[in-house]
Amino acid sequence: MYVLCRKVRDKKMEKLIPVKTKEDIFAKYQDTPIGKLFEYHNLKRLHEKQTSAQLIIGMCMDNRKRISIPENFAYVIRTGGGNLRFNEFQVSYSIALGKVKSIALVGHDRCGMVNLISKKEKFIKGLLDIGWEPSVAEDHFMHFAPMFEIGNEIDFVLSEAKRLRLRYPKIEVAPLFYKLEDNLLYLIRED
């Protein structure tokens, strides 16, 4: 079973495209806020003064990741797994009032929102340790875990990008990936 899971994970990782030079950025993202995101974070472009947000970055709340961008460059929405399904008002606000035209969805490896059911006992114990009643803690987990389970990180980012493209058809939506081992952003090849 472990070997099969590893093969599936390795196959998914083959979709990742490293960005080590400006030319590595997909042509459709060149000279866009998505391209600039790669330039700032991966390529260490000097941070220029920004007067307004250029994009929305939807990313996981995970504390192991940090994106290097100038102040005022992006609205950043951090939520479990980078799941924006329950944050659409903030997305719409950023588009309608902030006038952003791009969304960068950033998934990452070893995300805690994958296989949530395996974390059920530890989750409940953590709430019991701070005074929750056992039945309330279990009900809380069982109510919310299905909403926030993302399955495979890459597949989730790709499906969320498709969903947001349908919801906001005139907005550029880029599915991206952050590797914890090197703290860099990667493009995801969409097939």
Domain CATH for 36 = 3.40.1050.10
Q: How far apart are CA 86 and CA 88, in angstroms?
A: 6
One domain, residues 133 and 178: no
The reported pLDDT for the residue numbered 4 is: 46
Mean pLDDT of the 131-146 span? 97
Could you give the strand order of the β-sheet that contains 55-59, starting from the edge strand earlier in sequence? 16-18, 184-188, 172-179, 102-108, 55-59, 74-78
User: Which tens digits make up the pLDDT trace of 29-61?
Assistant: 999 999 999 999 999 999 999 999 999 999 999
Has residue 68 got a pLDDT over 60?
yes
Q: How many domains does the chain have?
A: 2
One domain, residues 100 and 136: no
AA letter at 39 = E
Q: Report the share of the chain in percent with pLDDT over 90.
A: 92
**Domain limits at 127?**
115-149
One domain, residues 139 and 160: no
The reported pLDDT for the residue numbered 13 is: 73
One domain, residues 18 and 38: yes
- pTM greater than the 0.85 cutoff: yes
One domain, residues 72 and 121: no
Mean pLDDT of the 115-134 span? 97
User: Which tens digits make up the pLDDT trace of 75-120?
Assistant: 999 999 999 999 999 999 999 999 999 999 999 999 999 999 999 9
One domain, residues 106 and 40: yes
